[in-house]
């Protein structure tokens, strides 16, 4: 099945941002033409700003090397975005509609560049660029809680120029909760703890909890939505998170990313801005004494609405596996309800957690799922990765 192939293709070069790949030429997914994306007229992959070295600079963007099928941007009226500014609705309802506006079909581009060295002698690393096509689905909406699941559905052009796909994979998830009184705080070395948020801090604000492809935690932060005229954004202070997968596959000189996040909703879709600092902590999770910070980094992830892309394979995948993934989420929730601190190993018997869970999901027969069996599998598999709080994880980045 083509879903199985994704473990060798999508997971390798995109979900885990398998860096170290060279930039490529003539990438239609990287072009910014306002209509159907076609051949990039430029001879090299573009980036807006960088370190202004000479023509022989090696700081070319790295990232995914695949060439995607052309897509058609959706320039129709965005009624969901317009609904945010409906006269007479409450601030709470404006916030909800802004969050719900992130659902839809998208072409996504990912851009990261190191901007300010903070350690003497540090040399900026290559910028990073990648792309995807995916849809974002509302999987729960209970008013003050909204859960959004991303599903990758990608079509790529092979060396003969033929389009292959669709390649489908469950991607990341983000849960939004109004006036949340606890968050999962990352404290370094594959360790998360439950942190209480005073009511005066969370009042009128939303938490965003971000989860990996296997529904393990990544980071969570509290922020406030601002709606002013036709501008809607949600912003957080700097929050610790594990190294992004685009980084730990190619480097080990830091182990925590401190990131301030901003989500901006616009008529074309939405944008995730990141203001990052790369930090080194010791085994206790304390920043090292001398020069703990390496460099600042700017990140810009654009989600542009598209139309006429066939996402049916991803819809079918989610229909077939949604109950299993709900049991996976429940297993994680139970784990955190019983433990104030969770520490994880990155592998069990030389396999990543996502490999176990993806394989189980891919083996489900259409329309047939035993929740009791699936729940037991999810719980036991996740527990294989949990270690004691005083133990040392196999690596310091998950």
Q: What is the pLDDT of residues 299-315, one digit of tens each?
A: 999 999 999 999 999 99
Q: What is the pLDDT of residues 13-55, one digit of tens each?
A: 444 343 333 333 333 333 333 334 443 434 455 556 656 554 4
Measured CA to CA in angstroms, residue 239 lies from 221, 294, 302 at distances of 7, 16, 21
Confidence of residue 397 (pLDDT cuts 50, 70, 90): low
Question: Which pLDDT tens digit goes with each residue over 132-156?
Answer: 999 999 999 999 999 999 999 999 9
Each residue of 180-221: pLDDT tens digit?
A: 999 999 999 999 999 999 999 999 999 999 999 999 999 999
Residue 4 has pLDDT above 80, yes or no: no
Percent of the chain, pLDDT > 70? 83
Q: 345: which 2 tokens?
A: 């190993």
List, in order, residues 6 or more apart from 163 with CB less than 8 Å away: 69, 155, 156, 157
Residue indicated by tokens 């999987």? 139
Long-range contacts of 191-199 (CB under 8 A, 24+ apart): 191/285, 191/341, 191/342, 191/343, 191/344, 191/389, 191/393, 192/217, 192/336, 192/341, 192/342, 192/343, 193/340, 193/341, 193/342, 194/336, 194/340, 194/341, 197/222
In the prediction, which pLDDT does 32 show? Answer: 34
Structural contact between residues 244 and 18, judged by C-beta atoms closer than 8 angstroms: no
Residue whose pair of structure tokens reads 């925590």 in the numeric block: 256
Q: Give Cα separations from 312 to 24, 102, 136, 154, 214 (angstroms).
A: 29, 19, 13, 11, 22
- Averaged pLDDT, 64-91: 92
What are the φ and ψ backbone dihedral angles of 24, each rounded to 5 degrees?
-125, 165
- How far is CA 232 from each of CA 162, 177, 228, 252, rounded to the nearest angstrom? 40, 18, 6, 37
Gap between the Cα atoms of 344 and 288, Å rounded: 22
- What mean pLDDT is predicted for residues 59-88? 87
Say if CB 385 and CB 395 are below 8 A apart. no
Mean pLDDT of the chain: 87
Q: Nearest-5° angle of CA 238, CA 244, CA 245? A: 175
Please give the pLDDT value at position 49.
64
Threshold 0.75, pTM exceeds: yes
């Amino acid at each position: 099945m083509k879903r199985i192939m994704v473990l060798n293709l999508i997971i390798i070069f995109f979900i885990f941002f398998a860096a170290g790949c060279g930039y490529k030429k003539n990438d239609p997914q990287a072009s910014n033409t306002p209509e159907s994306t076609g051949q990039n007229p430029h001879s090299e992959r573009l980036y807006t700003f960088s370190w202004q070295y000479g023509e022989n600079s090696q700081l070319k963007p790295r990232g995914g090397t695949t060439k995607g099928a052309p897509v058609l941007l959706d320039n129709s009226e965005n009624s969901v975005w317009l609904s945010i500014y409906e006269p007479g609705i409450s601030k709470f309802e404006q916030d909800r509609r802004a969050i719900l506006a992130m659902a839809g079909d998208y072409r996504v581009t990912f851009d990261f560049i190191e901007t300010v060295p903070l350690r003497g002698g540090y040399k900026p690393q290559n910028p990073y660029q990648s792309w995807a096509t995916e849809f974002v689905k509302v999987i729960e909406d209970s008013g003050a809680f909204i859960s959004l699941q991303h599903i990758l559905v990608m079509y790529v052009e092979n060396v003969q120029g033929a389009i292959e796909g669709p390649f489908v994979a469950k991607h990341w998830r983000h849960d939004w909760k109004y006036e949340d009184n606890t968050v999962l705080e990352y404290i370094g070395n594959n360790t998360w703890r439950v942190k209480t948020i005073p009511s005066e801090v969370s009042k009128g604000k939303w938490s965003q909890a971000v989860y990996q492809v296997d529904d393990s935690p990544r980071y969570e932060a509290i922020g406030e939505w601002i709606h002013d005229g036709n501008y809607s954004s949600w912003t957080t202070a700097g929050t610790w998170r594990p190294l992004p997968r685009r980084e730990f596959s190619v480097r080990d000189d830091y182990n925590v990313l401190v990131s301030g996040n901003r989500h901006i909703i616009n008529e074309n879709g939405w944008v995730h801005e990141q203001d990052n600092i790369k930090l080194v902590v010791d085994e206790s999770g304390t920043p090292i004494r001398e020069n703990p910070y390496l460099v600042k980094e700017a990140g810009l992830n654009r989600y542009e609405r598209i139309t006429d892309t066939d996402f049916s394979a991803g819809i079918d995948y989610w229909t077939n596996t949604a109950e299993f993934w709900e049991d996976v989420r429940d297993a994680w929730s139970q784990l955190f309800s019983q433990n104030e601190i969770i520490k994880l190993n990155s592998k069990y018997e030389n396999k990543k957690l996502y490999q176990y869970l993806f394989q189980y999901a891919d083996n489900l027969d259409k329309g047939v799922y035993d929740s009791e069996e699936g729940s037991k599998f999810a719980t036991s598999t996740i527990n294989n990765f949990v270690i004691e709080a005083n133990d040392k994880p196999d690596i310091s980045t998950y």
